[in-house]
Structures are given as C-alpha cells and as structure tokens.
Homo-oligomer: A and B are copies of this chain.
Amino acid sequence: MQRLHVTSQTIRYDVVVGRGAWRALREFGRHGYTSIFLLTEGGLWNHWHGPFLRASGLKAARAVFVPAGEASKSVRMVERVAGKLLTQGADRRSLLVAFGGGVIGDLGGFVASTYMRGIDSVQVPTTVVAQVDSAIGGKTAVNVGAMKNLIGTFYPPRLVVADPVVLSTLDDRAFRSGFFEVVKHAVLSGSRLFNEVERSLDTLRPDRAALLGPLLARAARVKVDVVSRDEKEAGLRRVLNLGHTFGHALEEATGYRRFLHGEAVGWGLLAAVRLAELLGLLGPAESQRIAALIRRLGPLPPVRDLKAERVLRLLPRDKKAVGGRIHWVLPERIGKVRIVADVPSFAVRAAFRDVQRADRHD
C-alpha cells in the first residue's frame, strides 16, 4: 500500500493505492462531518458494500444511487442527486464519498463541488482508469448533449483510496481497457514503469487484480506528480492528453458505443506514436516497442471501417484546443513527450491511415 501526496493550490491530500487502501478512511477525520453520503450504483454496491464498510468503518454512510453508465453524467442527474442529498439532510458540513468508476467519480466530484457551493468529497475509484488517473487531480464534469465534460470544475477531493481488490468484479474487457491508460502513464514516465508494465502483462487478469497494487501505485504516481505541478492545466497537465486527441475523436465518431474509453486511448496512443514517428520526433525502435505493448494488451475493437475524414473532422472539437488549434502531445522517447501546436493536417491524416492499415492486416 502506497500513500502519495497531491499538493493542490488550495489543499494537500493523500492518494492511497494498494491492498487495504480503504482502511485509510479509518484515520480520515470523518467525525468532523455532520453526515456522510455515498454516491454509487446498485450493482457495484451490492457486491462491495460489505467489504468496503468493514474496511472503511463508514457504517453510518447513506447511499445515494444513480444508474450505471455514461448517461448518468448529466446535468439532470446533478439536480436529482442534489435533491436527494437535501431531502436526506445533507448540509455544508456533510461529506460525499464517490464509490465507482469514472462516471461516478466525475458526477460525484461535480456534485460535491457545487452542492451548497461546495462540500468535501472522497474518491473511492473502482476501475483501473479511475484508480490511476481520473479520480486523482480534482477534475470533475458532466456532459451536455453530445459534448462530453462541457460543464465541470477543478475541485480537489480530500482523499483518494484505491484498493485493487474491487477490480476483481470487472469483466475481462473492462479490466484490460484500463491498462491502455497505464501504458500512457508509462510512456510519460519512463522506462522503469514501462518495463514493469511489459513484465506484468501476464498477470493482468481480474481474478489476480489484488497483486497489481504496486504497479497501479506507480502508475498513479505519474498523475499525482503532474497535477501537483499543474493543477489547472495551464501547461504541463496537458501531457496527460497523450493518446486522447484521437481517442476522443474515435469515441465521438462511433457515438461512444464501440470503444471503452481506455480502448479509444489505446488507438489514440497508436496514432500519436505513428504521428510522432512520421514527424521525425520518435525513432522507429521506440515506436515499435510502444505499439507492440499496446497490441499485446489487445484486442481492440476495429477502426479500419471508419471514414478517416469523419474522424479527422472531429479532432478540432477537442476542448483543449485554444482558438481552434490542436495541441498534439507526441512522444519523443519513452519518458519524454512534446506538445506540438502546428502539425500539418496531411501528417495527421497519414498517421491515422497507417493505423487503419495496420488494423486491416491484423
């Protein structure tokens, strides 16, 4: 079990990752709150409430349920959850615990940041992506129509506790998809973490998830380090967007139905790696090494049938684009990326076509 420290502009908080992490809630000052609420979804809670409540000691927490799935990340759900909190007596000194994956974390974080102008929150991430990435750093959001994360806040939680034991009820595909984000962190971080992901590939099974504590902690540390230095995405934090520019376009082009988020990031990493190689930023050996790791994590749903022009048209809608430009995060080697603002569109097109071609030959 590792305890990491995020230093945000306003507060400092811990990210506890590994077996037994939930127990960190026992030392957390929960008695300072008038009441504790827990946002989650029924299936997950049904399975895990026993172990979680025993480990955390949060027996008095009242659960508020939202349906599983992306549709719950809506403005309407914010209103509904806030209404439930009010009815059950939540006040400005209540605590909201978000127990779930990215949807619950983003929604719960947003509700906490706005309920009575902000109450404390704790993140208990239950997916790989949430444990190493989305639950850390205080970005919260909900969707507006087709536009993901259009409304949100920067609002750090008071504590993040990530126990890999909870990953054991993920299905194999959901479980594996999270490791594309781990690969992203490894490319950002350097060869030590990258080597470790390569070595760990065979243990990547949900029923052995609890063994993954140290690997997940190291991947989480990458995020912790970045957001401690750049809480609000003024600059450095943008490196976390590696693989997400294409990833978002692919998700949008397929109506968010074909790919799990991590899988889209997997494709996005392949495209970014290829683009970096085409631009002469990344050598072929490292390019192949990264691509090989992503392929071994596979299989990925296809991209070969997608209309390239449509995917490319969706790229500029990435909201990280300021004034319409795209800031590409491209690897120069394992452990180093560069942000490039003026990538010619023919290179982007060529990179994506190469990725599609490779998909055809699989």
Interface residues of A (CB under 8 A from B): 9-10, 34, 75-76, 78-79, 82-83, 86, 89, 91-93, 113-118, 139, 141, 144-145, 147, 149-154, 232, 319, 321-324
A154 to B92, CA, bound (A): 13
Most chain B CB neighbours (cut-off 10 Å) among A10, A78, A150, A322: A150
Complex contacts, A232 vs chain B, CB 8 Å: 117
Residue of B nearest to A75 (CB): B79
Task: Tell me whether A319 and B116 are in contact (CB under 8 A).
Answer: yes
A141 to B78, CA, bound (A): 13
Task: Tell me whether A144 and B34 are in contact (CB under 8 A).
Answer: no
A153 to B79, CA, bound (A): 15
* A322 touching B141 in the complex, CB below 8 Å, given contacts A150-B115, A154-B117: no
Task: Tell me whether A144 and B323 are in contact (CB under 8 A).
Answer: no
Min CB distance A319 to B, Å, is 5
Complex contacts, A92 vs chain B, CB 8 Å: 319, 322
The number of times this chain is found in the oligomer is 2
Would you mind naming 10 contact pairs between A and B with Cβ atoms under 8 Å apart?
A34-B322, A75-B76, A79-B151, A82-B151, A83-B144, A91-B321, A93-B322, A93-B323, A114-B151, A118-B154
Residue of B nearest to A233 (CB): B117
Task: Tell me whether B117 and A82 are in contact (CB under 8 A).
Answer: no
A-B pairs with lowest CB-CB distance, top 7: A75-B79, A34-B323, A117-B152, A114-B151, A82-B144, A116-B319, A79-B144
Residue of B nearest to A83 (CB): B144
A115 to B114, CA, bound (A): 13
A247 to B92, CA, bound (A): 20
Min CB distance A258 to B, Å, is 24
Task: Tell me whether B322 and A116 are in contact (CB under 8 A).
Answer: no
Complex contacts, A319 vs chain B, CB 8 Å: 91-92, 116
Most chain B CB neighbours (cut-off 10 Å) among A78, A79, A92: A79
Complex contacts, A139 vs chain B, CB 8 Å: 117
A145 to B324, CA, bound (A): 37
Task: Tell me whether A150 and B82 are in contact (CB under 8 A).
Answer: yes
Task: Tell me whether A151 and B323 are in contact (CB under 8 A).
Answer: no
Task: Tell me whether B322 and A115 are in contact (CB under 8 A).
Answer: no
Min CB distance A73 to B, Å, is 13
Min CB distance A257 to B, Å, is 22
Within 8 Å by CB of A86, from B89, B115, B117, B150, lies: B150
Task: Tell me whether A322 and B91 are in contact (CB under 8 A).
Answer: yes
Task: Tell me whether A152 and B114 are in contact (CB under 8 A).
Answer: yes
